[in-house]
Amino acid sequence: MTSAKSVTVTRKVVNNNTGVTTSTSVTKTGNQTTVTKTTTIGKPKTASSSSSVSTPATAAGLVLGEAWITGPNDTRDLCAPVALANSLLAATGTEASNAALERLYAASGAWGDSGVPVPVLLAEAWRSGLAGCRLAAWSAAMPDDADLALMDLGDAGVHAAAVTGGRAVMWGAEVPLGETGAVILGAWSLRWHGEDTPCRSPA
């Protein structure tokens, strides 16, 4: 009897000023998924810059063979629009392109790695849509009933993720909510116009 193949995807954040490295690893072995968070203290760099440098998240969906979108979030911190795109994908089967995510992000008033509050992003998706689909409605929800959640992952920071079947989509991998160790800061139930009729001109 052969053992199940194990694949691990790790997202690291390095602070050059303090020398502290925090990492979140998602390990998938068969049907089991485990999340491990670690903190390593190293030697600070002597550079005078006050900004920290982050290692981009691995495109976990490609590594694990999943269909989830990682989009620009594999190079920049665009977790909120990527989470919304994965919610759209789960609800309608419509896949948003990187360009569509960037347009929604900018239309929400965000730039670079500024980030965008989830309610602002939802309001813009209701106004202008995403990939040809418009958000019809959203409301606060309990985490287990949510389609999107904002989570505090401790050392790994705050992260937005789509939620489907009680599992959070994190960097392309599905992780049971109860195994993330996260504090849920907010959770929303979403309804898309495309759930009833096909979305127009996906982009």
54 inside domain: no
Where in the sequence is the domain holding 120, given as residue range(s)? 59-195
Beta-bridge partner residues of 50: none
More confident residue, 29 or 128: 128
137 inside domain: yes
136 inside domain: yes
CA dihedral 124, 127, 128, 134 (to 10 degrees): 100
Q: Check pLDDT > 90 for residue 196.
A: no
pLDDT at residue 114, rounded to an integer: 86
40-45: long-range contacts, CB 8 A cutoff, minimum separation 24: 43/19, 44/16, 44/17, 44/18, 44/19, 45/16, 45/17, 45/19
Lowest mean pLDDT: which of 48-52, 92-96, 121-125, 169-173? 48-52
189 inside domain: yes
Q: Check pLDDT > 60 for residue 5.
A: no
51 inside domain: no
70 inside domain: yes
The pTM of this model reads 0.67
156 inside domain: yes
* Count of domains for the chain: 1
pLDDT at residue 67, rounded to an integer: 83
16 inside domain: no
pLDDT 10s digits, 36-68? 666 555 554 443 333 223 333 333 333 333 589
